């Protein structure tokens, strides 16, 4: 039986895509949770706040 010393390239790419999605969801959820929607809008604007909220909900949180 042949053992691999590392995962193949598609598996590594998928791993980092999932890790990035988890970090994005965590960051957007914490930002909206600590600041609240209104303070986030005042800080970064309506368009970016909606992007944070939509990305957080789209990723299933």
12 within domain boundaries: no
- Structure token digits, residue 18: 């999932």
A 10 A CB-CB count for 37 gives: 13
Q: Tell whether the model's pLDDT for residue 10 goes beyond 80.
A: yes
User: Quick one: average pLDDT of 14-36?
Assistant: 91
Residue 55 lies in a domain: yes
Under 8 Å between Cβ of 57 and 32? no
Residue 17 lies in a domain: no
**Has residue 11 been placed in a domain?**
no
Residue 10 within a domain: no
Model pTM?
0.71
12 vs 60: which has the higher pLDDT: 12
Measure the CA–CA gap between 45 and 24, rounded to whole angstroms: 18
Residue 60: phi and psi, rounded to 5, are 90, 25
- The count of structural domains within the chain is 1
15 pLDDT more than 70: yes
Domain containing 53: what range?
A: 23-61
3: in domain: no
């Amino acid at each position: 039986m042949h053992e691999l010393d590392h995962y193949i390239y598609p598996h590594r790419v998928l791993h980092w895509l999932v890790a990035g999605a988890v970090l994005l969801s965590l960051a957007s959820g914490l930002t909206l949770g600590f600041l609240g929607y209104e303070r986030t809008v005042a800080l970064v604007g309506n368009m970016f706040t909606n992007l944070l909220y939509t990305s957080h909900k789209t990723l299933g949180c």
